[in-house]
Amino acid sequence: MNIIAHVEIPVTDIDRAIAFYSDVFRVGFGKIVEIHGNRMAYFPFEEGKEGASCALAEGEVYVPTVNGSIIYFSVTDIDAVIARATAIGSDLLFPKTALPDGGFVAEILDSEGNRIAIQQLKA
């Protein structure tokens, strides 16, 4: 059992964040929903599959930061993701680095000021 069920990424401009994550990770989002006065946009998720659900979350209690928890996004081509992110103005906070057991990791700044990690596991 995976203990993490759901993650919310704080954003101040949900439309800008949707554009960033869509461009960088090549994912689509459904319509924005409102929950308890907060606006949410959900990443693609399939029930019964491994992993947690995740949403971009805009509201008074959601404050982006580079100093909080770091969410790792699994990718198949880390170089392409870094290139797309930096092409649209993202800062590379931690350069692509080889992992001891294979694969790579890097950290970037999203459009909202959050530090996020990109991880490519070994093939």
Q: Which tens digits make up the pLDDT trace of 6-39?
A: 999 999 999 999 999 999 999 999 899 999 999 9
Question: pTM value?
Answer: 0.93
Domains annotated for the chain, with CATH where assigned, are 6-120 (3.10.180.10)
Cβ atoms of residues 119 and 70 within 8 Å: no
**Whether residue 76 has pLDDT greater than 90:** yes
Count of other CB atoms within 10 angstroms of residue 79: 13
Q: Which residue has the tokens 């554009």?
A: 19
Using left for φ > 0, alpha for ψ between -120 and 50, and beta otherwise, residue 88 falls in: alpha
Mean pLDDT of the chain: 95
Place 1 in a pLDDT band, splitting at 50, 70 and 90. Answer: low
